Amino acid sequence: MDGDGLPGASDATGAAAAALEPFELPSECWMVVLSELPVREVCMMGRANRELRGLAGSAPLWASQYSRLFGQPPSPRLGGGAAVRRMCRRSEIRAARWLEADVTQQTVGFPDTACLQLDERKVVSGDGCAVRVWSHEAGKRYRRIATLQGHASHVACVAYDDNVVLSGDAGGMLRVWGMDDLKPARTVRAAHDGPGGVAGVGLLSGIPVSVGGDGCVRLWDVASGAAIMALEAPRSAAVAGLDVAPDTGRIATCGDGVHVWDAGVGGGGG
């Protein structure tokens, strides 16, 4: 007799061996399963056996993962599937510390807060007609340092650097505050007179920059309160926001499209 000499032992042994074999599916079905898994699980599945390792390394699978992560197909310049796979794995590793972190939340500020900026130690926010400065050092609760009053309309935007705090409101007023003493350094009452007033502010190497509904980008001299430069948006459309790149001297604005300005020459590109 086979097995241990008992009737039916051979059949039982064969059934047990079959149960240990990988569950067989057509390759197309495995590809559907793999395409629904996160990057980490795809890599783990590829360690199961030779067949899955081949499927988990296929270029179409990683092109699908790339599209899911980045919202567009991979560029042909990336080359083969190995480069795309590396980018997907790096993206998920970077995201893991946020997704798996023990996130804590503190509710501070006021319900009508409309804008803010933060760094590793403080937050500057705008609500109603006030600008507020908060401390949020690690391990400590948020603490309000100061409330800056003086705007006549709702504060729409704020920005700051090591020297000044800049704020603009819906009525077109632009205010500059000293960072050290948090006192007013300059007020421009009609920085922008279009609808929406001052829509965005920034600091370009210490120079205040503002945009607004009048379609202009203005750079300001803090000492005199006068505009150093005025750049008119293409098609004279209202400008809704901006960002600055101090390292390059460029200003990016949005509204009727996105335009990039080189503050050194006063030119803009769409």
What pLDDT, on a 0 to 100 scale, did the predictor assign at position 9?
43
What pLDDT, on a 0 to 100 scale, did the predictor assign at position 18?
46
- Per the structure block, which two tokens stand in for 232? 């008119």
What pLDDT, on a 0 to 100 scale, did the predictor assign at position 170?
94
Distance CA 122, CA 259 (A): 30
What pLDDT, on a 0 to 100 scale, did the predictor assign at position 163?
93
Partners of 203 in beta bridges = 208
Give the model confidence (pLDDT) of 84-136 as tens digits.
888 888 888 888 777 777 767 777 778 889 999 998 889 999 999 999 999 88
**Contact (Cβ atoms closer than 8 angstroms) between residue 164 and residue 177:** yes
Report yes or no on whether pTM surpasses 0.95: no
What pLDDT, on a 0 to 100 scale, did the predictor assign at position 19?
46
What pLDDT, on a 0 to 100 scale, did the predictor assign at position 126?
95
What pLDDT, on a 0 to 100 scale, did the predictor assign at position 139?
63
The region that residue 150 occupies, defined by phi over 0 for left and psi between -120 and 50 for alpha, beta otherwise, is left
Partners of 125 in beta bridges = 116, 132
What pLDDT, on a 0 to 100 scale, did the predictor assign at position 192?
93
What pLDDT, on a 0 to 100 scale, did the predictor assign at position 8?
47
What pLDDT, on a 0 to 100 scale, did the predictor assign at position 93?
82
In this prediction, the residues of the chain whose per-residue pLDDT falls under 70 are 1-23, 103, 138-139, 235-236, 264-270
